[in-house]
Amino acid sequence: MEEEIKLTIEERKKQQQLQQVQHPFAVVSASAKTGEGMKELIQTIEEIIEETLQQSITILIPYQDSQHQSLLNQIHLQGKIHNIDHLDEGSRIVCSLPPRLYDRVKSYQQK
């Protein structure tokens, strides 16, 4: 019986993965009654909201700035870099960022 349940769960995971590849929208199975899949549902909603709320910005982070490498890493991990130029004075980055990171780098904004 336990083996059948594991097989069913594995089959469902494979179906979900296949649906995500075939369907451009996020698909998450969840049950309000049992709570199954709620963690995945919340995580998926958070990711979609985060992507939807991203803002575009052009920034110049001077190399001598103590936050240069840290900010660059966070932008790579959390944002989408559209263009990056390594100039004499620093890194000029055109990117889209989630709200929290956007607020952190907006003092580096270039017009």
Q: How far apart are CA 71 and CA 67, in angstroms?
A: 6
Confidence tier at 52 by pLDDT (50, 70, 90): confident
Mean pLDDT of 54-64: 94
pLDDT tens for each residue of 26-41: 778 888 889 898 998 8
Domain ranges of the chain: 2-51, 54-108
Cα separations in angstroms, 2 against 5, 20, 31, 32, 75:
5, 27, 21, 23, 44
pLDDT tens for each residue of 77-92: 988 899 999 999 999 9
- Nearest CA among 97, 24, 6 for reference residue 55: 97
pLDDT tens for each residue of 11-24: 666 666 655 544 45
Ramachandran angles phi, psi of 80, nearest 5°: -125, 120
Pick left, alpha or beta for residue 97 (phi over 0 → left; psi -120 to 50 → alpha; otherwise beta): beta
Q: How far apart are CA 13 and CA 7, in angstroms?
A: 10
Q: Has residue 72 got a pLDDT over 60?
A: yes
With 0.85 as the threshold, say if the pTM is over it: no
